[in-house]
């Protein structure tokens, strides 16, 4: 019963539309009506600016981290595969948020938040890889997908089968959610960053 309630809580936590809330409270803007129309952090940065975008990305990361940590506080103070499963529930909530018409973000930040709790070293090195790729390519979307692929490779060396499966699933979801970005990259119409 407790586990089932934690899954519901994790999904609802993931469903909190950080970009929508920050946009409306801080700027009076519905970011779904601007930029890419996405609720994720990238569109928040482009639409709302760096301070608001920073709040959104930290909030989205924390959704995954807090969801993954629920078993630690409510069942047993150890890191277990259940932590990853609850993290996945939060990612599903982020992609299909009940509080925002089931149209959410692309799962990058929240997936990272799950890994932050379960494998901090993977998270830290993945962030490093992301920014290196971002510096080289100037594409946020491409850097996000390739950082996910790096996470899969990293997980293979851990010998943690459950981590490998979950990271592969999360990376697959991230890539699938970036289908339109992939087409724009191929057509050379994907926006590039100018600040790095």
| pLDDT for 194 | 86
Contact status, residue 14 vs residue 110, Cβ threshold 8 Å:
yes
Let me know if residue 109 belongs to a domain.
yes
Let me know if residue 194 belongs to a domain.
no
Let me know if residue 192 belongs to a domain.
no
Residues 6 or more apart whose Cβ sits within 8 Å of residue 86: 6, 7, 10, 67, 68, 70, 71
Let me know if residue 128 belongs to a domain.
yes
Contact status, residue 111 vs residue 33, Cβ threshold 8 Å:
no
| pLDDT for 39 | 87
| pLDDT for 195 | 83
| pLDDT for 63 | 98
Task: Give the largest CA-CA distance in the chain.
Answer: 50
Mean pLDDT by 10 residues, the chain (196 residues): 96 96 91 88 90 95 98 94 98 97 94 98 98 97 98 97 98 97 96 87
Radius of gyration of the chain (CA): 16
Token pair 């994720």 is at which residue? 40
Let me know if residue 149 belongs to a domain.
yes
Let me know if residue 196 belongs to a domain.
no
Let me know if residue 195 belongs to a domain.
no
17-47 pLDDT, tens per residue? 999 999 999 889 999 998 888 888 899 998 9
SS3 (DSSP) at 131: helix
| pLDDT for 69 | 98
DSSP state of 80: -
Among residues 73, 80, 84, 64, the alpha carbon closest in space to that of 18 is found at: 64
Among residues 40, 34, 36, the alpha carbon closest in space to that of 17 is found at: 40
User: What is the extent of the structural domain holding 85?
Assistant: 2-186
82-to-23, 66, 78, 86, 89 alpha-carbon distances in Å? 33, 13, 10, 6, 11
DSSP state of 189: -
Task: Provide the domain count of the chain.
Answer: 1
Phi-psi region at 193: left, alpha or beta (left = phi > 0; alpha = psi -120 to 50):
beta
Let me know if residue 167 belongs to a domain.
yes
Contact status, residue 81 vs residue 167, Cβ threshold 8 Å:
no
pTM above 0.85, yes or no: yes
Residues 6 or more apart whose Cβ sits within 8 Å of residue 9: 67, 70
């Amino acid at each position: 019963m407790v586990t089932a309630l934690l899954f519901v809580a994790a999904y609802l936590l993931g469903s909190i539309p950080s970009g929508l809330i920050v946009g409306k409270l801080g700027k009076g803007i519905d970011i779904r009506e601007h930029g890419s129309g996405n609720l994720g952090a990238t569109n928040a940065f482009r639409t709302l600016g760096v301070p608001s975008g920073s709040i959104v990305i930290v909030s989205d990361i924390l959704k995954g981290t807090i969801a993954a940590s629920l078993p630690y506080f409510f069942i047993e103070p150890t890191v277990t595969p259940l932590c990853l499963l609850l993290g996945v529930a939060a990612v599903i909530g982020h992609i299909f948020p009940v509080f925002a018409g089931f149209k959410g973000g692309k799962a990058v930040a929240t997936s990272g938040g799950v890994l932050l709790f379960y494998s901090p070293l993977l998270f830290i090195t993945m962030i490093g890889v992301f920014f290196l790729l971002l510096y080289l390519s100037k594409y946020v979307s491409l850097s996000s997908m390739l950082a996910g692929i790096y996470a899969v490779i990293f997980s293979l060396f851990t010998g943690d089968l459950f981590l490998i499966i979950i990271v592969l699933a999360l990376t697959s979801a991230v890539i699938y959610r970036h289908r339109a970005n992939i087409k724009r990259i191929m057509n050379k119409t994907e926006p590039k960053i100018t600040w790095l």
